[in-house]
Structure formats: structure tokens, C-alpha cells
Chain A
Amino acid sequence: MKLVTPKKVLTVSILLGILLILVMLVSITMGSVKVPPMRSIRILFQSILGLKGAGSETERTIILSLRLPRAILAGFVGAGLSVAGATFQALLRNPLADPYILGVSSGAAVGAIIAILLGLSTSSLGLPLASFLGALLTILVVFYFGRQDRKIHPNTLLLAGVIIGSFLSALIMFFISVSQKEELHTIIFWLMGDFSFSSGRAILVIFPYVLLGVILLYLRSRHLNLILSGEENAIQLGVDVERLKLVSYLSASLITAASVSVCGLIGFVGLIIPHSVRLIFGPDHRLLIPSAALVGASFLIASDTFARTILAPTELPVGVITAAFGGPFFIYLLKTRKVIKTL
């Protein structure tokens, strides 16, 4: 039987966890400054064990203070966006849904651009804080319009989100058109998604949201299965759907807000990772959520490693890499229609 059992979830999670660790190890050995791979790994393990031995001071700084935090950050963002995407696809019952569909990203962008124009982006907390506030405000406004008679209507929510998102995009265009050349570069990199802004401290900002959000959503994964076939269907099977919709909307939105606030708009991860994982492991959220988190984390770490090494010492925005790989892959999925028969 191909049913999802605790054993299967555990096995798959362990295997994907090993993959994630391998990707991280490869990631810290690569970069514009050459540190021999074995030495990089030795530096990492010795520091985990509290020893100091291998490598020079500079090498240790590069591995432990630059590459490792960045890989961890990319991992959290990749995991968060993938789980948020899977949740929005179920909540809105729309295979095209991604974490940005309800305008959270545009709100974050407006916040970030205002911070950049005001010159706040030089402090390490100014930019993430401003974009998080922008995202938060958008979440509340969309929620306000998507809720009537104390019920969330997914279609109304979707329309409200898309329209508010377009309005905010107009604001973004306006800001871009009036901004100076130096600011423009920062803004465009932010809009394409980029880890080079973020400091190691950003991990502390994003970590609680992603961890808590993913756990909350995982605890509702069985109910997310039921709502895939419609709200009435879920109610017939005893689900408190209003609570489910509320918790999943807020968790997925907050995960998205925290993710974009540290690294800008990284596209496609939240769309293609859930679909690819569904293709391999099936639509059951009890397996889908943990595997999407782990695959998403691995994918984004790998993409970011590419982004900073492929044209080294120049760094590309990671969004360029995810879209360059993600776009064609998604078209391939659409063409083969293995998962998305309803489109």
C-alpha cells in the first residue's frame, strides 16, 4: 500500500535531511575566495566541536561568519516559501497559487523601497524591518477584504490579494521611476531576490516565523488534505474550516513576510517546489509539508551557491537562478500534466 504512514514520513524526512546537509556542505566549500573543500569542512566540524585548529583566521571568518550563515538563511527561506506555497495552493484551491499571490510580496517591496529611498538600507535592520512592516500591513488589509460575516472566502481573498498586489506594484513602479541611479541598483537587486544584503542576524529574525509557521501548518496537514476537495467536503468530515483557513492564511502569510523581508522577492521556489514534491510523493500534506520544506531548503541553498559563484567575484541575484531553472521546469510540468490536470 502506498499510504502515508509515520514511518514513511520519517524515512523520507531523514533522507531529504541528509541531502540538505550535503548541499550545505558543498555550499560552504564554494565561493570566490578559494578555501580547499576538505579544509572548509574541517573548519566547520572543529568549530562545532568547539576546537580551533584548521585554517587561517581569514578562512575561518569566510566559512563560519559568511558562508555558513548565508546557507542557513537560504535554507530557512527556501523551506518557508515552499511550505507557504503548498499551503496557499490548498487554501485557495488553485495550482497557480504561490506565497506572493496575495500581495504580501508587493507590500514588502513597497516597505523595502521606502526604506531604501529614505537611506535606511545602510543599517542592517532598517531594510528587513521596513519590508516586514509593509508585508504585515498588506496581510491585514487583504484579510479585511477577504473576510465577510466572519468567514474567509478564498475567492474573495484571492481577488482582494491580486488587486491590492497590483495597486502596490503601481506604487513600486512610481518609486522606481523617481529614484536615483544608485538607489535603483539596490531596489532592483532587492526585487529580484538577493542574499547579499542580509546579515547573519537575519537568521534570528526569520527562524521563529518559519519554524513556528511550519509546525502550525504541519499540525493541520490532515485537514489541509480534506479542504483540497472543497470546504463543504471538509465540513462533512468534521473539520472546523473557518479556524483552518484562518490559521493557514496567517501562518503562510507570516512565513512569507519574514522570508521576503530578509532577502527580497525570490520567485518560483514557492510555486515549483510544492508541485515537484507532489509529483514525487503525492498530494498528502502529512508528507508534502516536511518534504517541501527540506527540498525547498536544499534547492535555495544550491541556487544561492550558483548565484554567488557562477560569475565570481560578481554575485547574481538568486532570483535570477531560481527563475532560470524554475521557469522551464514548471513549463515542463504543465506540458506533461502529471500533477496539474485541472489547468
Chain B
Amino acid sequence: MIEVHSVSFRYHEDWVLQDASFRVEKGEFVGVIGPNGSGKTTLLKILYRLLSPQKGEILFELVPIKKMGRTDIAKRIAVVAQETHLLFPFSVFETVLMGRSPYLGPLMFESEKDLEISKKAMEWTNVLSFSERPMDELSGGERKRVFIARALAQEPEVILLDEPTTNLDIHHQMDFLDLILTLNRERGLTIVMASHDMNIASEFCDRLILLQEGKIYKMGTPEEVITKENIEKVYGCEVWVDQNPFSGMPRINLFKKGVPER
């Protein structure tokens, strides 16, 4: 579905991404992990052409993404990014309707069909009950669900998630990820998620891409990527990797080292 061919990108002097190549298959749930500043967010931004790489090429279903129009991209790729600051708050329903934007012509107003699709999206994400409330009165978890509803209203084939679970408590993290997994498994949506939380990535993703200083250090199943050697090499700190007794997926344990006795 998405093919990235030796892509390199820099904002100024230094390369933020270097010679990255990978593919994302239809219906896959791919995680992008790596330390701060390793290029996770930049990589996502390149996938929907917010940024254009200086070298390399990205194909979306064999079409170079730089040849696609903005609205074309928005109809196929939805993005749930980190919280945006709202100047004048819209209601939940208005926010979700904005997801129909790429489909609206110069007529500018939403049709019955747009309302229908948005309502369905709100049903799926369980936000319909508070659709009249302004966005700035919602909790972090509720807001995240609204943005997923907006993404669904775009009727995309791919959803890109940038650190979706930051600022959520574990209950809301699990709710959110279960929702994403359901969308992935039941609707065949392709998901690419950048995350700091390697245990979550290991638990939910089919495949992981581990970045180090803008280069792909390792790519593969969670078992292949999340190993003691890989993590210690990329993050430069000691960890203990075992298996999650419940799912059998690799799990990272942190521990204190060499601290003097009290």
C-alpha cells in the first residue's frame, strides 16, 4: 500500500531522516519506535506529504505521493496528531464534520450524506452522546476519540497516529488502542503509529520499525525488534527484556542500576 524508497529529509543542515526504505502492506498495523529526535514524527509527516523529502520517493498504491493532490491525500490518509490548540472551540459534531472537508466542493456545506457518515463515525468511537459539547470542555481521552471519529469521517484507507497515547491514563490508553485495533481488524484500515511506549507497540503492532538518528536500525515483528541488544544499542541504557506472561509478546523492564545503598 505504501512504499518508501530511500527517503532522506532535512529541515536545515543535518539530515533528520537518512535513506529510509520500507513498505506498509494493506491492513497492517505498523509501529514506529525510537528515541527522542530519532525522526518518528518527521517520518509520519513525510508519509502524508506535510514535508517533502529531498531524496527518495514515496508511492501510495504505486502512485508517487508528490503527484497526488492535497484533497486526494486527505481522502485516503487520515492523521491523528498530537493535541492542537483550539483558538475558538467548535463542538464535537462540527469537529467530526470537518473530516468531510476533502469531499466538499465549492458548495461548502455538508450534505445529508456527510452528516450520516459523521454520525456513524461518532457512534463507532462512542462520542455521539456528547456531540453538542464544545471541544475544550472534554477530557483528554474524549478528545482523542473525537479526533479518531474525524479521521473515520474522512473514510480513509490509512490512519497515521502520532504518539496517540501520551497524556492518557492506562484505562484510556487501553480503550483507545482497542478501538484502533478493532478498526484495523474489522475494517481493514491500515495503521501506522509512532509511539514512545515500546510495550504498547509490542503488544498491538504487527510490525515495528526501530529508528536511530534518522536511520532504520531494525525492522520486523516485535519479537525480532524488541530484544535486549537492539534496545540497549539504540537507547543507550540498560533494560531487561522478557515476555509479557499474558500475551507472550516481548516486554521491556526498567530497573535502577548501581545506586548507592541508603
A binding-site residues for B, Cβ under 8 Å:
1-6, 89-90, 93-95, 219, 221-222, 225-226, 228-230, 232-233, 235-240, 278, 282-284, 286, 339, 341-342
Contacts and interface: CB of A to CB of B under 8 A. Distances in A.
B70 A222 contact: no
Given A239-B70, A283-B89, A341-B136, A6 B109 contact: yes
Nearest to A275: B88
Interface string B81-92: 100111111110
Nearest to A286: B108
Contacts of B50: 232, 235-236
Interface in B91-116: 91, 93-94, 97-99, 101-102, 104, 106, 108-110, 115
9 contacts: A95-B87, A229-B84, A229-B85, A229-B86, A233-B84, A236-B78, A237-B154, A239-B101, A342-B85
A1 B78 contact: no
B101 A228 contact: no
Contacts of A221: 108
A237 B106 contact: no
B132 interface: yes
A236 B84 CA distance: 12
B97 A3 contact: yes
B71 interface: yes
A226 B101 contact: yes
Contact of A237 (B72, B74, B132): B74
Contacts of B78: 236
B73 interface: yes
A3 to B, nearest CB: 7
Interface residues of B, number: 35
B87 A238 contact: no
Given A3-B97, A236-B79, A342-B85, 13 more contacts: A1-B93, A1-B132, A3-B93, A4-B94, A90-B87, A219-B108, A222-B108, A235-B50, A236-B50, A236-B74, A238-B75, A341-B136, A342-B87
Interface string B112-135: 000100000000000000001000
A1 B74 CA distance: 26
A237 B101 contact: yes
Nearest to B107: A6
A283 B134 CA distance: 11
Given A3-B94, A283-B90, A237 B109 contact: no
Contact of B89 (A5, A238, A341): A341
Contact of B88 (A233, A237, A339): A339
Interface string B21-63: 0000000000000000000000000001010000000000000
A252 to B, nearest CB: 17
A286 B73 contact: no
Contacts of B74: 236-238
Contact of A278 (B70, B79, B88): B88
B179 to A, nearest CB: 19
Contact of B102 (A2, A93, A229, A238): A238
A222 B87 contact: no
Nearest to B86: A229
A91 to B, nearest CB: 11
Contacts of A95: 87-88
A153 to B, nearest CB: 14
B41 to A, nearest CB: 11
Contact of B87 (A228, A235, A282): A228
A225 B72 CA distance: 20
A262 B225 CA distance: 69
Contacts of B85: 229-230, 342
Given A226-B101, A284-B94, A286-B108, A236 B89 contact: no
A278 B88 CA distance: 9
Nearest to B118: A3
Contacts of A232: 50, 81, 84
Given A235-B70, A238-B70, A286-B109, A226 B98 contact: yes
Given A6-B109, A238-B70, A342-B87, A222 B104 contact: yes
Contacts of A236: 48, 50, 74, 78-79, 81
Contacts of A229: 84-87
